[in-house]
Structure 1
Amino acid sequence: MLRYPGFIAAALLAAGTLPALAAPPPDLAVVRVPDASTTFSSAVAVRAPRDGSNRLFVVQRNGTIRVIKNGTLLPTPFLTVPTSVGSESGLLGLAFHPNFGKANLAHNTEFYVFYTRPSADPQLGNYEDEAIARFTVPTPTSDVATATGTIIMRLPDLQDNHNGGDIHFGSDGYLYISSGDSGAQGNPHGFAECLWKKPADSNKNSCGTNPNGAQYFLLGKMLRIDVDNRGGTVSADMCGSSGISPAEYSIPASNPHVATSNTCDEIWSRGFRNPWRFSFDRADDRMIIGDVGQGNYEEITVSAAGAGGLDHGWSRCEGRHYDDVSGSGTTCPATTGTVAPVIEYDHTSRCAVSGGYVFRGPVRRMQGTYFYGDSCSSNLWWSESSGATWDAGGENVITTLGSGSIYGFGEDEAGYIYIVRSNGQIHRLVSEFIFADGLQP
């Protein structure tokens, strides 16, 4: 599979070690994108292909993707996807193929979206399916995509919230997909832990099947699939290919459950409530996930490159605390064997974490700093990004960088980070501390 480490990460690694965290520079500021007068409707993410075009693509939950090119918002949308927009449903994710825009390489016109299918479409569960679809552009440099796409995966759903919906290609060339636990409070059916075809049976201690009812196979998970090798026979363990034949993806041989029976082999890791936004650190391929909590705690978890098969704990744990099992005063992962979050915070004036990015752009004072936010706060949080526990000395909050709750983030080709806010504004984090010695020009 193709690997595509960013040029900035490659330069850092060539220097010997990743830079140590200092702190965000004192002149850290935000700039409105593309200008101070432009707002976006229901934006949830900013994405950028690594094709040298420096374009930004704004994902709007209403089904539209807009293009910012050379600092200008283009009048014609890149793509409009028919979608059902509910409380947390709609168009939620966008990922460009690693070869997108690169001449003479396979798949160089392909990109993928995660969205809720319209209510008029056939559905596998009690609510509209979540779907991943492949779209193309007429040429690698096109600013308007071909309107018709191909559904490659369908996820049955129970309600219109806790959909996850973020998608990214890893440096291994595989597509990673986040899915929420269906929206039923407290994970009563056990979807987040079950590895097989689970019905909504109000029994979280059973992972049996019910052939006479809807089955919710892939909820509360992180999934990994190979979208380049497609066209084969749909096997019983390809749970996301229901109604799709021939297969539009294949299962990577190194996925953790390939060698076992009665498992959905797309599953990469499990035990999530609503992994709304996640990212890969371009320096070392760590997966960093913002998992939205329930009543008390929000969490950021991290897993090393290639670390599949992990259990992130929901609903036995909410953050580092017990949720539906009894304990003896120890932290939750100490006795459940689940993944401990690197960051946990409570619901004091906050409610739902929006996972961000580790900065790997050209501002040296920011390199290695993880930026994240919350959909009930306009404040920006930052943290060191090493060790078993980040923010060990307390939460690092910046209260002066704009208004509007934070719904999502983005990263451009150069490594600059963008903040997507509830008021329709998009901000880019900027600083003049761009030299190795930390001095301004």
Structure 2
Amino acid sequence: MKYLYFLITLFSLSGFSQTIGIQSFATGFSSIVEIVNAGDDRLFVVQQTGVIKILNANQVTNPSAFLNISALISTGGERGLLGLAFHPNYATNGYFYVNYTNTAGNTVIARYSVNTSNPNLANTASATILLTISQPFANHNGGTLRFGPDGYLYIGMGDGGGQDDPGNRAQNKDLLLGKILRIDVDNGAPYAIPPTNPYAAADGADEIWATGMRNPWKFSFDTVDGNLWIGDVGQFNVEEINKVPVGDGGYNFGWRCYEGNDAHITEGCEPQNTMTFPFVTYSSADGSGNCSITGGYVYRGSAYPNFVGKYFFADYCSDKIGMVADNGTISYSGVLTGGSFTTFGVNAANDLFVGSQGNGVIYKVVDTSLGVDDVSKNTFSVYPNPASGSFSIHSENARFPLQLTVFDISGKKLLEKTIGSGNENINISGFSTGLYLVNTKDDMGMQSVSRLVIQ
């Protein structure tokens, strides 16, 4: 019983002290920079070295790469294969798009097709280059590609690197650096300009949708309201999260005039009231260990109701995941295993994943507060506890039948069945050693949660 008390106490203090946790989902990757789904049950894992691997729903990775363009790219630092997006009609046209730095260090946006006879392989001979953008420095390449709810392809471009954006490229409307670009890949050769782009009929580069970005490493669209969320990496003091409606664009997010909300180099800048300031910021100069935001997603899954509608992000250096509420309040996890989180991803069911460059593991983001009830209020209890092989349910009031569900500590449902009496044994012979949650619900709707140790 001392062993059980120790485990329950430890679990209560550590596992439930924060609601944000992670559970290892797949291992064996290298330099993870992107996790994308193609509308089915597979995850496509982008490695900075130029390789895209397929991770199946059974957590097994295909031995052969989906795409390998390592010979085309420059790697190291912030260069490499950086982005992947599947066409909204991928199931019928087989098109997908990649963002990489070529051997000269310049950004390339290219379209590929899937192999017509094997959906787990790309057609490496199908490459069509859409854009090549000169990069003056090796860093701040951006990298994210996303299709918006308007069907256009959005491209995140950093300011080209160098401290303080020498040349003020992010504010220069004639340059594609330091911008969010938007192009129409379904028309034109190799693309067309959406007619509502802010400079489509005015002075400035037609591809620009928004200006004033430093390094929008990750951005995503909320699948419910269509808002665009951008994690823009700061320079010394401020990491920022921008939230804007898609619309026609024309946003100026402020860099280098402002770092977050703080004035930075304002000489020659447009008026402050013409700029769009962050939805929320956090400090990278407060001793917390923060240094670089990894933008994520608004959670729209069904497994964790407490997460729904909240935006998730991570910091590369502090190894924490943050959760932003509608009012801009940020809640953080504790320091998490693996660390150096470089990307988030979602599957077709909107489960949320995060990739660690520190150990090559993809984790599932989970709500560790699932099923936490006061044990003293339980109507039912489990015995023996600890258990091995099987357990039973005890009730002082013997209100059977009841619905029984067993979860692991990440919230994954492992067993569900109807229990007719307290004499019925529940088989757990295939369960690993550890701590579990047993939920019971009787015919009156009374629910109870007990902690079960399996040894």
Scaled by the length of structure 2, the TM-score of the pair is 0.73
- After TM superposition, the structure 1 = structure 2 runs for residues 175-190 of structure 1, keeping only pairs within 5 Å, are 175-190=153-168
What is the aligned counterpart of 1:250 among 192, 196, 199? 192
* Distance 1:277-1:440 versus aligned 2 partners, 3 A rule: farther
| Counterpart AA for 1:225 | I
- After TM superposition, the structure 1 = structure 2 runs for residues 36-435 of structure 1, keeping only pairs within 5 Å, are 38-50=27-39, 53-71=40-58, 72-81=60-69, 82-102=72-92, 108-119=93-104, 128-139=105-116, 142-148=119-125, 149-196=127-174, 217-231=175-189, 248-261=190-203, 263-325=204-266, 335-347=272-284, 348=287, 349-362=289-302, 363-384=304-325, 386-387=326-327, 390-391=328-329, 395-399=330-334, 401-423=336-358, 424-431=360-367
Higher strand share: 2
Structure with higher RCO (Cα < 8 A, 6+ apart):
1
Highest Rg: 1 or 2? Answer: 2
1:30 aligns with 2:1: no
Scaled by the length of structure 1, the TM-score of the pair is 0.75
CA shift digits 1:125-151 (9 cap, x unpaired)? xxx210000000123861010112111
CA contact (8 A) 1:372 1:380 kept: yes
Give the SS at the match of 1:101.
helix
Q: How far off is 1:355 after superposition?
A: 0.6
CA contact (8 A) 2:18 2:334 kept: no
CA shift digits 1:3-58 (9 cap, x unpaired)? xxxxxxxxxxxxxxxxxxxxx99765322223xxx2211111100012xx300000
Measure, in 1, the Cα distance between the counterparts of 2:17 and 2:306: 6
CA shift digits 1:330-356 (9 cap, x unpaired)? xx9994531111111111311111111
Q: Which runs of 5+ in 1 are unaligned?
A: 1-23, 103-107, 120-127, 197-216, 232-247, 327-331
| Counterpart AA for 1:153 | L
Measure, in 1, the Cα distance between the counterparts of 2:172 and 2:52: 34
| Counterpart AA for 1:293 | G
| Counterpart AA for 1:364 | P
Q: Which residue of structure 1 lines up, in the alignment, with residue 391 of structure 2? A: none
Give the SS at the match of 1:365.
helix
Measure, in 2, the Cα distance between the counterparts of 1:440 and 1:73: 38
* Distance 1:181-1:26 versus aligned 2 partners, 3 A rule: closer
Q: How far off is 1:87 after superposition?
A: 1.4
CA contact (8 A) 1:256 1:268 kept: yes
The two structures, once aligned, show a CA RMSD in angstroms of 2.5
Give the SS at the match of 1:414.
coil
Q: How far off is 1:295 after superposition?
A: 1.3
Measure, in 1, the Cα distance between the counterparts of 2:261 and 2:290: 17
CA contact (8 A) 2:67 2:124 kept: yes
* Distance 1:29-1:337 versus aligned 2 partners, 3 A rule: same
Measure, in 2, the Cα distance between the counterparts of 1:142 and 1:267: 34
CA contact (8 A) 1:43 1:58 kept: yes
Measure, in 2, the Cα distance between the counterparts of 1:373 and 1:428: 14
| Counterpart AA for 2:47 | Q
Measure, in 2, the Cα distance between the counterparts of 1:140 and 1:371: 37
